């Protein structure tokens, strides 16, 4: 009887230890050009010294899911290990002619559009694999875009904890309150991934979010 209780006690401790060390899959979702890769780069650079992918003013720069494993985020004495998953922006339309405005050759623009459509499909397929998700929105844009609502609706349906980021707060047009008003049931953190502004609140919120799945 005593031996059994002792065995269970140690089992629980060991289980707890391994459970804490689990690598959480942290996904970055959102519409194109919201700053998902910029934010993922900022985190990876802060804690691994390496970036995850390239960024560009031209939409759909990320056209395939890219990830970095074993990113140990340390904040205020706490540690947590994540697999950072940066996904291509989700859109309902992709027109190669939009890329021509960026002085891209027609052939390259068509190839980029084709890869971007595949990227959107890949992003959607990865939704089921996430433990926690950061939805990155451009705070200078209208938050009522249906893509935002569709992403959040799907994460809710899958019971995946979500944090909304109002990115680009360094820009005068940015409106965090607009995003908070559009999605009152979610936590919203305003930051500038480009300049690393307000990352402390972001890390604090990520730890809070991760606790919900641990």
Q: Which residues of this protein are in contact with another protein, per CB under 8 A?
A: 90-95, 113-114, 117-118, 120-121, 124, 127, 142, 144-147, 149-150, 153-154, 156-157, 182
Task: Give the angle subtended at the CA of 13 by the CAs of 8 and 15, to the nearest 5°.
Answer: 90
Contacts within 8 Å (CB) and 24+ apart, 197-202: 197/169, 197/170, 198/169, 199/42, 199/46, 200/75, 202/165
What is the SS3 assignment for 12? helix
Q: How far is the CB of 141 from another protein (least distance, A)?
A: 11
Q: Which of 206, 189, 207, 185 is closest to 198 using CA atoms?
A: 189
What string of DSSP letters covers 164-196?
EEEE-TTSTT--HHHHHHH-TTS-EEEEBTTTT
Q: How far is the CB of 157 from another protein (least distance, A)?
A: 5
Q: How far is the CB of 53 from another protein (least distance, A)?
A: 20
Using CA atoms, how far apart are residues 123 and 28, in angstroms rounded to an integer? 10
Q: Which is nearer to another protein, 27 or 205 (CB)?
A: 27
Q: Which is nearer to another protein, 123 or 192 (CB)?
A: 123
Under 8 Å between Cβ of 36 and 87: yes
Q: How far is the CB of 145 from another protein (least distance, A)?
A: 8
Q: Which is nearer to another protein, 160 or 206 (CB)?
A: 160
Q: Which is nearer to another protein, 53 or 88 (CB)?
A: 88
Q: Which is nearer to another protein, 68 or 112 (CB)?
A: 112
Using CA atoms, how far apart are residues 40 and 68, in angstroms rounded to an integer? 9
Q: Which is nearer to another protein, 8 or 146 (CB)?
A: 146
CA 201 vs CA 9, 92, 147, 158: distances in Å: 37, 32, 26, 26
Q: How far is the CB of 127 from another protein (least distance, A)?
A: 7
Using CA atoms, how far apart are residues 192 and 8, in angstroms rounded to an integer? 48
Q: How far is the CB of 9 from another protein (least distance, A)?
A: 43
């Amino acid at each position: 009887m005593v031996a059994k209780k002792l065995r269970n006690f140690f089992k629980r401790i060991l289980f707890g230890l391994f459970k804490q060390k689990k690598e959480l899959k942290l996904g970055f979702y959102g519409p194109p050009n919201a700053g998902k890769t910029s934010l993922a780069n900022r985190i990876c650079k802060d804690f691994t010294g390496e970036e995850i992918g390239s960024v560009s003013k031209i939409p759909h720069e990320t056209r395939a899911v890219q990830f970095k494993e074993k990113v140990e985020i340390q904040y205020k004495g706490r540690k947590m290990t994540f697999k950072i998953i940066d996904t291509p922006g989700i859109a309902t339309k992709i027109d190669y002619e939009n890329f021509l405005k960026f002085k891209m050759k027609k052939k390259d623009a068509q190839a980029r559009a084709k890869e971007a459509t595949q990227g959107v499909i890949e992003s959607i397929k990865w939704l089921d694999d996430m433990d926690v998700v950061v939805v990155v929105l451009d705070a200078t844009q209208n938050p009522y875009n249906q893509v935002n609502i569709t992403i959040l609706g799907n994460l809710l349906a899958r019971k995946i904890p979500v944090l909304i980021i109002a990115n680009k707060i360094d820009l005068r047009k940015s409106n965090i309150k607009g995003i908070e008003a559009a999605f009152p049931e979610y936590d919203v953190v305003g930051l500038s991934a480009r300049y690393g502004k307000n990352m402390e609140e972001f890390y604090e919120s990520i730890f809070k979010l991760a606790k919900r799945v641990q």
